[in-house]
Structure 1
Amino acid sequence: MEVKADRGEQHLIVHKGNPHPKVSHTGVYDKDILCGDCDNILGRYESYAFDLFRKIRTQPVSAGKIISVDGVDGDMLVRFASGIAWKYAVTIPDRGRIDIGPYKDILRMVALSGGQIPNAIDVTIARIIELDGDVYYYRTPMPDRKKGVNVVRFCLGGFLILLKIDKRPPGNWLPEECWLRGREKGAFVTLPAEYVEEATLHAELANQTPVRRFFGKMRERSARNSKQG
């Protein structure tokens, strides 16, 4: 919804090391994962996160600060992140399947059953601060480790999501309140883009000639549509 702000806009899927980006109307999609009922369950969590991200973006902040938001359902955010990660754990290899071992089934339970969230599962969400304003780029989930703790890492519209999938506590590399399971007040750290892998990778890929050409045409189309309107 954020990428396709104007009618006719498209996604551009780029892989590091591949000079030929792929134009897509829908982004990465696997129609064989979910039934309608389960899709509706995950869609509710994703809509909740989408609305919260928009709310967070309205707050003027600087990098290195923490954004506090009252009235947050931390468990909804854990289920949102678990649903995204689970879909990538069960998709086909060509769609970017990840291997998270036994946590595949645990994340399915967290995302779809509505049962109690185990201590091994938690999430923290950081806002990436760009010098030129919000930039809506996305990175598919990947297994990662932070201070020896296993996480699934992905990026959505300028937010970095780290989903803990580990029985060990997350340690003290973030303030405790930034871990959101069970919380009714959200704390979201802000990170300068130049220190975030997703942001620097996006800048590198966006500077490739095919990508610059694509977005140049998109800007021209948007300008023409604005004049016609």
Structure 2
Amino acid sequence: MIVFNETGYKSASRTGRYERGLLCASCDGKLGAYEDSALQLLRRLRCVRVGRKSGGKPAIFPGLYPFRVPAPDVLVRFACGILWKYSSIDPSIPGHIKIGEVKEQLEAVCFRGGPIPASIDVFLERDLFAYLAFEDPKEVYFYATPSVNRRGGRRVAWFSLGGFIIYVRIDDDGPSDYAPKRAWLKGKKACNFVVSPRSIMVNRDIARSVGYTADDLAKLNKRFAPRARL
């Protein structure tokens, strides 16, 4: 399920489908390769225990959780491609975002392998709504399209994928204090993701969406029951 946080619109996922008229075959392949790498990474990180959901009082363990990647910046380039994509679709389509001149930088980073400007960086935060709602890391997850606003005094975009919120700083004024310095990923193989209770608020409207779409979700995930009929 794709949830468009800016408009409240929901639709079925188009993952794996060719974006006709938006990307050439070569660029679609580049973004697809980054997407595959990102999904594999997030699938691995979802298995990291960040709280306790049974065997006593439920609890979340906030902090930084270390992980390693084989090559730096793959997730950064993936995130840039996602923002470019949603800034390039027709403004009448749900999910369109306005990001201004940074769009050209995003295109160069994702599709031309260009250097990542000082104005762009990424950090990962565990989506605690997804963590609490889905028991099995292999279960179906929602995808929330990008939003753009200011966080920690900097212009930031974020979207949700695979049980994580991916934040992208797109601001010339340096790192945002919305995340610890060690959480920013650019240029690193030894990385950290953030666990913070604030993530529940970011996707708080998803809970309502899950209720609205229970019938569709039940077809994908047996843990969801269809809505009761009166």
Q: TM-score, normalised by structure 2?
A: 0.79
Identity value in percent: 33
1:188 is matched with 193
Q: Does the aligned pair in 1 maintain the 2:73–2:186 contact within 8 Å?
A: yes
1:131 is matched with 132
1:78 is matched with 76
- Structure 1 residues 197-212: aligned runs within 5 Å: 197-198=202-203, 200-208=204-212, 211-212=213-214
Deviation at 1:206, TM superposition (A): 1.6
Secondary structure in structure 1 of the residue aligned to 2:14: coil
Q: TM-score, normalised by structure 1?
A: 0.79
- Structure 1 residues 136-215: aligned runs within 5 Å: 136-192=141-197, 195-198=200-203, 200-208=204-212, 211-215=213-217
| Structure 1 residue identity aligned to 2:202 | E
Residues 54-99 of structure 1, C-alpha deviations (whole Å, 9 max, x = no match): 1111222224132211235331111010000000111112142211
Deviation at 1:16, TM superposition (A): 7.9
Query: 5+ residue gaps in structure 1?
Result: 1-10, 224-229
1:26 is matched with 14
1:119 is matched with 118
Count of residue pairs the alignment pairs up: 208
Q: Does the aligned pair in 2 maintain the 1:74–1:186 contact within 8 Å?
A: no
2:90 is matched with 92
| Structure 2 residue identity aligned to 1:213 | D
Distance 1:213 1:17, change over 3 A: farther
Deviation at 1:127, TM superposition (A): 1.3
Query: 5+ residue gaps in structure 2?
Result: 52-60, 226-230
Distance 1:204 1:78, change over 3 A: same
Deviation at 1:171, TM superposition (A): 3.4
Secondary structure in structure 1 of the residue aligned to 2:100: coil
Distance 1:111 1:12, change over 3 A: closer
Residues 169-210 of structure 1, C-alpha deviations (whole Å, 9 max, x = no match): 223332111110011111001234773321x111022223xx
Q: CA RMSD in A?
A: 2.9
